[in-house]
């Protein structure tokens, strides 16, 4: 129990508190001692001052008798240190300061521990020119010094109070940390139920404690992302299996039919059809590998790219099926991998060519701290409710399936994944006609150069397929 976080925190808190309380206790005892010594010194001094004042005023009778708040120990020593008068408390006692008197000291202010007394005393004395006992006498008042024996109640009381404080600190620390760990234990117990309840289960969010609340919210957000990733992976496997099964089944059927034909049969048409299915399988596999690399977010070399120059090169290498017009602002620089960025533009142009009627327009411009690349076609466009669906893996609208039955449905998802790898976005914006795809990438900060960046490694340069 004491090796737990709760026990260690309690022991540490009690140890630190005990050290602080011991220091406080020592300081208090030093202050009490100084206060007691000052009181003793003042009492001796006041007694001598009262006696001297009475003698100066001519009052000699019972001058050594102490008043209620004065010390009862008084001596009057002659010029040679002999006792010439004394109070009742020192009746018959030897001189307290014979040596000091014989040395002609005018003032005595010190402690002494004579053998005929049971305790040390503080002496305060002064000489008088004239007195009832003759000239040159020394009047001395002695007050017993305080000891632990006569002030034992104070340290004992302080020790008891500090022990009670330590016990209270230990209990409060143990209790408070225990209460703080209750939500953590609840989160732990709920997380232990995931194997039985599934990823749809969520941990409770405590209402007290900002950090614990943030912890629970972070755990729930992580679980939500994990559930979404699991569901997406499940859909991905299902869709991939479906898309791979069709060309595989067609290819198998064609090969089996070819084997059933007579020896002189012309297999050319059948082989060409099988080759088409093989190419579609190759395209699907390449796109699946590309998505796998993108999901891995492995580092990939990046460099500064002139977006207008890259767009111009991609447009020039396209076959002249649909006229493409450009409006390219020079000097729009982004940091990305050129092969991957070319694939994004290639997929967008392939998608535009698939749906365009007569024209495609490509625009590159600067918008604040972002670079913007737009690809606009004059086709029928994408319904607003389906604009996010086209970026789902293997999702294809009816028109897309009609215009390009051999498409994989992975071109646009790959393009969005690449955009997000470089901190950008890819979405479909409103337009008067056709589909308007808008790619936004952050402009590099001053002095930012190329280098490794989160993203996949470059795939085969010769086998990249554009289009969705």
pLDDT at 330 over 80: yes
Say what the alpha-carbon torsion angle 206, 207, 213, 217 is, to the nearest 10 degrees.
80
Query: Cα dist. 314→211, 310, 319, 371 in Å?
Result: 51, 6, 10, 17
pLDDT at 259 over 90: no
DSSP 70: S
Rounded to whole angstroms, the Cα distance separating 278 from 162 reads 86
Q: Which domains does the chain have, with CATH numbers?
A: 7-144 (3.30.450.20), 194-249 (no CATH), 299-463 (3.30.565.10)
What mean pLDDT do residues 304-317 have? 92
pLDDT at 271 over 60: yes
- Confidence at 397, pLDDT banded by 50, 70, 90: low
Say what the alpha-carbon torsion angle 333, 335, 340, 342 is, to the nearest 10 degrees.
10
Rounded to whole angstroms, the Cα distance separating 416 from 12 reads 53
131 CB contacts (<8 Å, ≥6 apart)?
55, 76, 137, 139
What mean pLDDT do residues 137-155 have? 74
What mean pLDDT do residues 6-33 have? 83
What mean pLDDT do residues 125-146 have? 87
Mean pLDDT lowest among 95-104, 172-181, 222-231, 291-300:
291-300
pLDDT at 14: 85
The residue written with tokens 């086998």 in the block is 463
The residue written with tokens 């999901």 in the block is 295
DSSP 138: E
pLDDT at 191: 65
pLDDT at 333: 93
- pTM tops 0.95: no
Percentage above 70 pLDDT, the chain: 74
- Confidence at 332, pLDDT banded by 50, 70, 90: very high
Backbone angles phi, psi at 127, to 5 degrees: -85, 150
- Confidence at 398, pLDDT banded by 50, 70, 90: low
Rounded to whole angstroms, the Cα distance separating 430 from 383 reads 10
pLDDT at 355: 84
Classify each residue of 110-136 as buried b or exposed e, where b means 16 or more C-beta atoms within 10 Å of its C-beta: eeeebeebeebbbbbbbbbeebebeeb
> Higher-confidence residue: 34 or 403?
34
């Amino acid at each position: 129990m004491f090796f737990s976080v709760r026990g260690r925190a309690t022991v540490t808190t009690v140890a630190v508190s005990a050290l602080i309380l011991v220091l406080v206790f020592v300081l208090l005892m030093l202050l009490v001692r100084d206060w007691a010594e000052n009181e003793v010194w003042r009492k001796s001094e006041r007694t001598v001052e009262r006696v001297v004042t009475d003698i100066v005023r001519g009052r000699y009778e019972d001058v050594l008798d102490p008043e209620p708040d004065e010390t009862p120990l008084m001596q009057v020593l002659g010029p040679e240190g002999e006792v010439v008068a004394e109070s009742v408390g020192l009746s018959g006692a030897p001189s307290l300061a014979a040596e000091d008197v014989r040395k002609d000291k005018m003032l005595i202010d010190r402690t002494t521990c004579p053998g005929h007394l049971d305790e040390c005393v503080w002496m305060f004395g002064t000489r008088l020119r004239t007195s009832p006992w003759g000239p040159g006498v020394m009047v001395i008042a002695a007050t017993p010094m305080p000891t632990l024996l006569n002030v034992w109640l104070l340290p004992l009381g302080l020790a008891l109070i500090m022990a009670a404080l330590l016990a209270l600190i230990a209990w409060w620390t143990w209790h408070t940390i225990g209460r703080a760990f209750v939500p953590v234990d609840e989160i732990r117990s709920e997380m232990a139920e995931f194997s039985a309840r599934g990823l749809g289960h969520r941990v409770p969010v405590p209402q007290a404690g900002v950090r614990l609340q943030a912890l629970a919210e972070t755990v729930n957000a992580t679980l939500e992302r994990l559930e979404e990733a699991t569901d997406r992976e499940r859909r991905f496997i299902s869709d991939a299996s479906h898309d791979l099964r069709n060309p595989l089944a067609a290819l198998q059927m064609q090969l089996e039919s070819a084997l059933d034909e007579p020896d002189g049969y012309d297999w050319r048409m059948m082989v060409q059809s099988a080759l088409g299915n093989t190419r579609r399988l190759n395209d699907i596999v390449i796109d699946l590998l590309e998505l796998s690399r993108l999901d891995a977010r492995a580092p990939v070399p990046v460099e500064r790219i002139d977006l207008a120059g890259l767009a111009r090169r991609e447009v020039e290498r396209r076959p002249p099926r649909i006229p493409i017009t450009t409006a390219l602002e020079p000097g729009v620089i982004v940091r990305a991998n050129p092969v991957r960025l070319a694939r994004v533009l290639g997929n967008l142009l392939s998608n535009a060519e698939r749906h365009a009627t007569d024209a495609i327009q490509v625009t590159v411009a600067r918008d604040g701290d972002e670079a913007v690349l737009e690809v606009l076609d004059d086709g029928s466009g994408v319904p607003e409710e389906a604009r996010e669906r086209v970026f789902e893996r293997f999702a294809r609208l009816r028109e897309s399936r009609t215009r390009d039955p051999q498409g994989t449905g992975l071109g646009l998802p790959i393009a969005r994944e690449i955009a997000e790898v470089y901190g950008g976005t890819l979405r479909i914006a409103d337009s008067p006609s056709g589909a308007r795809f808008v790619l936004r990438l952050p402009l590099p900060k001053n002095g930012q150069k190329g280098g490794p960046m989160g993203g996949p490694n470059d795939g085969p340069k010769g086998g990249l397929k554009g289009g969705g």
